[in-house]
Amino acid sequence: MKYREIKRCNNLKVSEIALGCEGFIGKDRKKFTEMFGRALELGINFIDMYTPNPGFRENLGAAIKGHREQVILQGHICSVWENGQYLRTRDIKKTKAAFEDQLKLTGTDYIDIGMIHYVDSESDFNEVFNGEVIKYCMELKEQGKIRATGISSHNPLVAKKAVESGLVDVLMFSVNAAYDMQPASEDVNALFAPESYAGGLVNMNPDRKELYELCEKENVAIDVMKAFGGGDMLNAGLSPFGTSFNEYQCIEYCLTRPGVVSVMAGCRSVEEIEKAVSYYGASREERDYSLVLSGMKKFKFHGNCMYCGHCAPCSVGINVADVNKYLNLCLAQEEVPETVAEHYKLLAHHASECIECKKCESNCPFGVEIVNKMKKAAEVFGY
């Protein structure tokens, strides 16, 4: 397992592969404990707990008993349980009661990340960020009942506003190659609707690209939901692309977006947990998503680096994907942020070493003018 840091939360280390909670809902205590125990054994230390389902909370409490410190809990604020079902609310009384219930049933006195649940529309954003909910989150943080604040969203414009507010440390966001082509929408169903993919889409949506770069710049950690598009991305018949990805390609795609720290995999069994973690044993070819993306007839990714690494190896050992990522972060911000300069410095080889052999360009399925990019990077970073 590899770990990445939530920088705005004392560099809290979270596993790159983490757990969504859907697959645990409805499991009996024995099965739950078995799945959770296996995940811990494999190095997973991070779980999302959006559901207020009491059975889930109690089972999780039992599973983490004795090793609370080992586990990073992402609990949702504004997610309540009413009449045997989950509801989203902005009612502050219900929100407070649901949070206390979360602590009690899970048997803990703090939640690592307090995630304001599901903010997709502008009006909802305004209600949350100008009202009682954000104040409550800040109080919880001051009291040490949460260590970091976050929001979950599917809308890049709303998510950007939240990041720009300076009040969130973590963003839970829906990321996969199909959604990344879609324009911002307040309607989550548009991400899944066939008509949204009826026209030929070209390249990543600029708002989504900007969001990921902004998160990287502001050290807001993204944890990913819907990396497999609810399973659709894994099935050629259901995928909006008409072609399937494998699990490793979906995970690799997310982990190569700027700002991303973890992918919340929605595993339903021990076998599915083991499959997700077997990403680390997968070959470079198995993880490589570039040929799926570049082979599509109706959709086109062209001219922009997707950070896929398919052009490697470079003749002189430059990590082209990383250089391009750091370059784009600087270009987006019109400056060289200190952290990006540090990351660039740590690379074994730098853009100025490029001998312009163009071997990488002939390997890049997206037609990126890599030699020009290396020249630009050498100019921006100075070497």
Of 119, 118, 115, the closest CA to residue 102 belongs to 115
Residue 1 CB, shortest distance to ligand SF4, in Å, is: 24
- Provide, rounded to whole angstroms, the least separation between the CB of residue 90 and ligand SF4: 41
Q: Provide the mask over 320-359, with x wherever binding to ligand SF4 is found by CB under 6 A and - wherever it is not.
A: xx--x-----------------------------xxxxxx
| Shortest reach from residue 354's CB to ligand SF4, in Å | 3
The bridge status of strand 3-6 relative to strand 221-225 is unpaired
Residue 315 contacts residue 359 (beta carbons within 8 Å): yes
CB 319, min distance to ligand SF4, A: 9
CA atoms of 12 and 178, how far apart (whole Å): 30
368 touching ligand SF4, by CB under 6 A = yes
Residue 304-323 contact track with ligand SF4, rule CB under 6 A, x = bound: -xxxxxxx--xxx-x-xx--
Residue 198 binds ligand SF4 (CB under 6 A): no
* Candidate list 12, 115, 360, 377; residue touching ligand SF4; CB under 6 A: 360
Gap between the Cα atoms of 149 and 151, Å rounded: 7
Q: How far is the CB of 282 from ligand SF4 (least distance, A)?
A: 18
Query: Interface with ligand SF4 by CB under 6 A: which range of 17-25, 199-207, 237-245, 368-376?
Result: 368-376
C-alpha 178/C-alpha 52 separation (Å) is 29
The verdict on 77 binding ligand SF4 (CB under 6 A) reads no
CB of 250 or CB of 364, closer to ligand SF4: 364
User: Please, what is the end-to-end C-alpha distance for the chain in angstroms?
Assistant: 33
Residue whose CB is less far from ligand SF4, 121 or 352 = 352
Give the residue with the Cβ less far from ligand SF4, 114 or 309.
309
Considering only the stretches 168-176, 185-193, 339-347, 360-368, report the one whose residues sit in contact with ligand SF4 under the rule CB under 6 A.
360-368
Binding string, 101-140, against ligand SF4, x = CB under 6 A? ----------------------------------------
Footprint (CB under 6 A) of ligand SF4, residues 279-308: 290, 305-308
Contact 8, 148 (CB under 8 A): yes
Shortest reach from residue 246's CB to ligand SF4, in Å = 18
Q: Do residues 207 and 184 lie in contact, with contact meaning Cβ atoms separated by under 8 Å? A: yes
- At position 294, the amino acid (one-letter code) is S
Among 151, 293, 370, 377, binds ligand SF4 (CB under 6 A): 370
| Residues 301, 205: Cα–Cα separation, whole Å | 11
Residues forming contacts to ligand SF4 in the complex (CB under 6 A) are 290, 305-311, 314-316, 318, 320-321, 324, 354-360, 364, 366, 368, 370-371, 374
